[in-house]
């Protein structure tokens, strides 16, 4: 008997969700504790839920959805993960239809989902295409064995930038006592974020400061890889953040964002930030870094220059309803 049940936030559910996700993940490993932390940290002002599909008492699929923030408040971000041994039974469709019913509560008019260009996601991609979702953004995905990167080659660039008054600091260990550190960092991240390409029809939205700060402290405490900030005369001008999830994959760093404010671009600051971050990660025993960027973003040239290797692309799909 197949049945959709309500998500009740039990440890058993978090463990089972990680088990199902790990049947699909092609280059990452989920650990239930991180999912549990994310759920506890979620912004409760946004409508968010999970639909769990059971075969008798065995979890076989999950649909996640969350309402967007502010200008995106009528957009629903969702994803479906199904145990592959249950493919071919329309189970994703069952969950999708249930979600369509539930998201009427926020007057949803747009749906967004994403996949990787990898065999494990092909059945889900078919569902999106059958429902007339359109491909709206393609992202290059990269991985690097950072032990192979010749960081010394870039020392003269870093020396040159430092001689021009641009200093590179580790945000967690060197900057927390700087005047207005958190305000300046949030402002910098918001300026950069607005320049990161997103699909037409989506809006960049600013996370309220207190919430942003809570997430930043959580990053410092639970999944800190490294966070390098470039500073000139007290002005924060560029940064990159990389997470490491020690309970899941302690050897691997996941890049969040890397950006430089406009008037400082094309001086090598992005490369320097990346090299500083890699040096910091190597000291902690991290050996691999994953990153991604929209296919035409110049960031890919930097990744290629550093020897990052392409791994399956990620594809973003959208549909108006």
Q: Minimum distance from CB of 20 to ligand COA (Å)? A: 29
Our CB check for ligand COA shows the closer of 286 and 299 to be 299
Closest to ligand COA by CB, 242 or 270: 270
Q: Determine contact, residues 52/13, Cβ cutoff 8 Å.
A: yes
Question: How far apart, in Å, are the Cα atoms of 62 and each of 17, 43, 50, 152?
Answer: 7, 20, 7, 46
Give me the least distance between CB of 206 and ligand COA, in Å please: 15
Q: Which of 1, 29, 275, 15 is nearest to 156 (CA)?
A: 275
In whole angstroms, what is the distance from residue 68 CA to residue 66 CA? Answer: 6
Residue with smaller CB distance to ligand COA, 129 or 304: 304
Beta-ladder partners of 294: 139
Toward ligand COA, which CB reaches closer, 165 or 285? Answer: 165
Cβ-based nearer residue to ligand COA, 11 or 305: 305
CA 288 to CA 281: how far, in whole Å?
Answer: 9
- Residue 259 CB, nearest distance to ligand COA (Å)? 3
In whole angstroms, how close is the CB of 198 to ligand COA at the nearest point? 10
Nearest to 2 by CA among 81, 111, 96, 90: 90
Q: Which two tokens stand for residue 121?
A: 């996601």
Please choose, from the candidates 37, 36, 113, 1, the residue with its C-alpha nearest in 3D space to the C-alpha of residue 68.
Answer: 113
CA atoms within 13 A on the CB side of 167: 11
CB of 321 to ligand COA, least distance (A): 29
> DSSP H helical segments within the chain, as ranges?
11-24, 32-41, 91-102, 122-130, 155-163, 171-174, 181-193, 209-222, 269-283, 299-305
CA distance 57 to 72: 36
Q: How far is the CB of 209 from ligand COA (least distance, A)?
A: 21
CB of 194 to ligand COA, least distance (A): 9
Residues contributing to the site for ligand COA (CB under 6 A)? 192, 195-196, 257-260, 265-271, 293, 297-299, 301-302
Residue placing its CB nearer to ligand COA in the complex, 53 or 271: 271
> In whole angstroms, how far apart are CA 308 and each of 144, 200, 269, 302?
5, 28, 18, 9
Residue closer to ligand COA, measured from CB, 59 or 271: 271
Nearer to ligand COA among residue 61 and residue 299 (C-beta)? 299
Smallest CA-to-CA distance from 174 within 217, 229, 244, 219 is with 229
Smallest separation (angstroms) from ligand COA to the CB of 105:
33
């Amino acid at each position: 008997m197949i049945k959709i049940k309500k998500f009740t936030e039990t440890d058993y559910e978090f463990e089972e969700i990680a088990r199902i996700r790990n049947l699909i993940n092609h280059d990452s490993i989920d650990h239930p504790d991180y999912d549990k932390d994310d759920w506890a940290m979620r912004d409760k002002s946004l409508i968010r839920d999970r639909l769990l599909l059971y075969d008798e008492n065995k979890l076989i699929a999950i649909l996640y959805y969350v309402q967007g923030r502010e200008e995106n408040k009528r957009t629903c971000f969702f994803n479906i993960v199904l145990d592959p041994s249950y493919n071919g039974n329309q189970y994703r469709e069952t969950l999708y239809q249930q979600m369509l019913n539930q998201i009427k509560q926020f007057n949803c008019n747009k749906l967004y989902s994403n996949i990787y260009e990898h065999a494990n996601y092909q059945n889900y991609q078919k569902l999106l295409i059958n429902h007339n979702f359109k491909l709206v953004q393609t992202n290059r995905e990269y991985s690097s064995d950072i032990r192979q990167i010749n960081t010394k080659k870039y020392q003269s660039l870093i020396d040159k930038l430092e001689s021009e008054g641009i200093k590179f600091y580790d945000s967690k260990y060197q900057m927390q006592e700087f005047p207005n550190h958190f305000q300046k960092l949030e402002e910098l991240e918001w300026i950069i974020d607005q320049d990161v390409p997103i699909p037409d029809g989506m809006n960049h939205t600013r996370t309220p400061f207190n919430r942003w700060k809570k997430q930043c402290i959580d990053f410092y405490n639970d999944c800190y890889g490294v966070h390098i900030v470039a500073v000139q005369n007290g002005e924060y001008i560029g940064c990159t953040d990389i997470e490491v999830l020690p309970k899941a994959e302690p050897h691997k760093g996941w890049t969040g964002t890397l950006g430089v404010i406009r008037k400082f671009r094309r001086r090598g600051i992005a490369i320097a930030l990346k090299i500083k971050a890699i040096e910091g990660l190597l000291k902690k025993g991290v050996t691999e870094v994953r990153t991604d960027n929209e296919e035409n973003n110049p960031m890919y040239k930097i990744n290629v220059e550093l020897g990052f290797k392409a791994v399956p692309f990620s594809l973003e799909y959208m549909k108006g309803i």
